[in-house]
Each structure stands twice: as structure tokens, then as C-alpha cells.
Amino acid sequence: MRAIEIFPNTDNQANLQLHADGSLRHLLTLEGLDRSLLVDLLDDAERFVTPPGRAAARSHSLVGRTVANLFFEPSTRTRASFDLAAKRLGADVLNLDVNTSSRKKGESILDTIYTLQAMQVDILVVRDASAGVPAYIARHVNDYVSILNAGEADTSHPTQGLLDLLTIRQRKGRFKDLIVAIVGDIRHSRVARSAAQGLQTLGIGELRLISPPPLAPDPDAFPHASIIDNLDAGLRGADVVMALRIQRERIGSLDGIPGIDEYFANYGISTDRMKGAAPDAIIMHPGPMNRGIEIESALADSPASAITQQVANGVAVRMAVLERVCKAMELR
């Protein structure tokens, strides 16, 4: 693993993300984006959802545009999702899996970006293990390039947040009064951060973050959530339960949790544990799942599971974001 680099702080990303008229220029984080913009994106995405067995949604709105997937961190699922989203909108797609070992300092990231910009890439989809990289890039590109964050350190994964919001809206029909419980390695989770930011903006009833104490987040990172270490207490009456992926290596370092079986017994979500949640509660997971560790396999495949729906919504949400930043560019 390479050392984590230090990038300028990421204050005021919300402003950085918007054109002067309020339209979306970059998607770096859900933090600070206002409610109407989030709802517009979810409504756009809804148009790109088609039922299984029907043709995938397509449009020509990115014909003549170039999308580059610049992944400094390996990914199969998210890269595939952006790749398909861009192709189904008619874009030319350039896939670049860049070995970060050849990347020593901020300058050389920018030179890669300037090169792609000179090649008239319109949209850069960036995944990086260092916090601040997408915003750093967004500050340096010219007026005709949009940056989409496809996963940034432990900090942010805004398209994942959007697909989670869309899935909840489809399954629950509302956000108001919902109790949402996120379970697992909250401390290191960009998925939890982006979901929490979006849910806060859309206005749910209660957000609970459940984890072993060593994996609990800094409370400042989640100002409106309650932090809980008892799973049953946290799940009580929850409408939405979101299990997070945990790195197996991390389990061994947890007090009183010597192995996978103990982790599952204490923090794994099972059909049995879900009995404490609301009767029609749904279970979500960002994937890829460790079945039998953070989630019981049968539960993942049960009617309560929204997991494959999340994946389908992922393509739809990315199509919506790609289309929206392209349209905003054309207005200028």
C-alpha cells in the first residue's frame, strides 16, 4: 500500500460542485447539496430503471462525449457500473487503471488530469485511496470538465449514497420518520458517510450507527446520528438496516471478538436479529458481501433484501449524474 498523501482540505466542496446557476458541475460529496438537487437526481435516475427482462434504459444524451474512468484504487463493480452507465448514454469510454505506485506527488496526478483534459475528455470518474483527491482535481480542471467521485478514501462515495437513497425511496415510499440503522465498520466507511449526509438532507426520523467500539466513528463526523454498540438495541424498530463490508483482517484486532464467528454472533445481521426491527424492514449492503460475517447468507437472498436492487439502481443513478453534468455544461 502506498502512503496516504495529504491534499488541501476539502472545505466548501458544495460550492465547488455547483455552477453559478446552481446546476451540478462536479459530484464530489453529498454534503452540502440541497434537497431539491438530490430529489431531482433521484427522479432522473428513476427514469433509467427498467424491470428485469426489459431492455436496459438507453439514451443518446452523451453521444459525442468522452468519459474516462480513472481508477487509482482497484474496483470491479463500481468501474463496471460507470462503464455501462456511460456506454448506455452513447459516450465514448476510456478505462484507465492507473498503478498508484508510479504516482509520487500531487503534481503528477494533475499532469495525468491535464493530459486527459487536453484529449478532450468531458467527464473524469475518479476513485482514489487518498482523501481530498477528487476535490483537488476539481479545483484544477478547466471549465469544460466534470469530476465524479467514484470512491474516496474513508471519506465519500456520493453515487453509492444516491443509489442507497433511491433504493430506500423505492422500498419505503418516504424518508420522513424512517429509522435507519447502519451496522459494521462505520469508522472506515465512505459508504456510511455518504448515506448519512444524504439521509440527513432528505430528513429521516433517526439515524443509528452500530459497531464494536473500536470501529465507532468520531461523533463529529456524524453530528445527527446516535452511536450504539449493542446490535439488538440499535435494530429495535428500524425500517432500514444497512450492513457494511468489514475487512477480515480488522476483525482480529477487536476486543472480545477473537474471530469471524464471534463477529457474526455480535454484529452479523441475520433473519433472527431482524425480528427486532420493524416488521417490513429491509436489509441493504453496498457489496461485495462477506456472507456469514456481516450478513447471514439466507437473509441476503430473502424478500427483505434490497441488495440487487441497489446494484440496478447504481447504474441508473450514474446515468442520471452523467447526463446532468453534461447538460449543465451545454448550457454554458
Residues that bind a second copy (CB under 8 A): 50, 52-53, 55-56, 58, 64, 66, 68, 76-77, 80-81, 83-84, 87-88, 92, 94, 96, 98, 107-108, 111-112, 114-121, 142-144, 287-289, 291, 297, 308-309, 311-312, 314-315
3-state secondary structure 3-56: CCCCCCCCCCHHHHHECCCCCECCECCCCCCCHHHHHHHHHHHHHCCCCCCCCC
Element (H, E) at 150: strand 146-152
In whole angstroms, the minimum distance from the beta carbon of 30 to a second copy comes to 22
**Do the beta carbons of residue 162 and residue 156 sit within 8 Å?**
no
In whole angstroms, the minimum distance from the beta carbon of 288 to a second copy comes to 6
State the cell numbers at 10: 476539502
In whole angstroms, the minimum distance from the beta carbon of 55 to a second copy comes to 5
Which burial class, exposed, middle or buried, applies to 236 when counting CB atoms under 10 A from its CB (0-12, 13-18, 19+)?
middle
Tell me whether residue 168 or residue 204 sits nearer to a second copy (CB atom): 168
Tell me whether residue 12 or residue 120 sits nearer to a second copy (CB atom): 120
In whole angstroms, the minimum distance from the beta carbon of 142 to a second copy comes to 6
Element (H, E) at 123: strand 123-128
Tell me whether residue 106 or residue 161 sits nearer to a second copy (CB atom): 106
- Coil, strand, or helix at residue 184? coil
Tell me whether residue 1 or residue 118 sits nearer to a second copy (CB atom): 118
**CA 297, 302, 308, 313 torsion-angle sign:** negative
- Coil, strand, or helix at residue 322? helix
**Spatial distance between the Cα atoms of 235 and 125, rounded to a whole number of angstroms:** 35
Q: Which one-letter amino acid corresponds to residue 26?
A: H
In whole angstroms, the minimum distance from the beta carbon of 280 to a second copy comes to 22
Tell me whether residue 85 or residue 135 sits nearer to a second copy (CB atom): 85
Tell me whether residue 36 or residue 297 sits nearer to a second copy (CB atom): 297
In whole angstroms, the minimum distance from the beta carbon of 157 to a second copy comes to 16
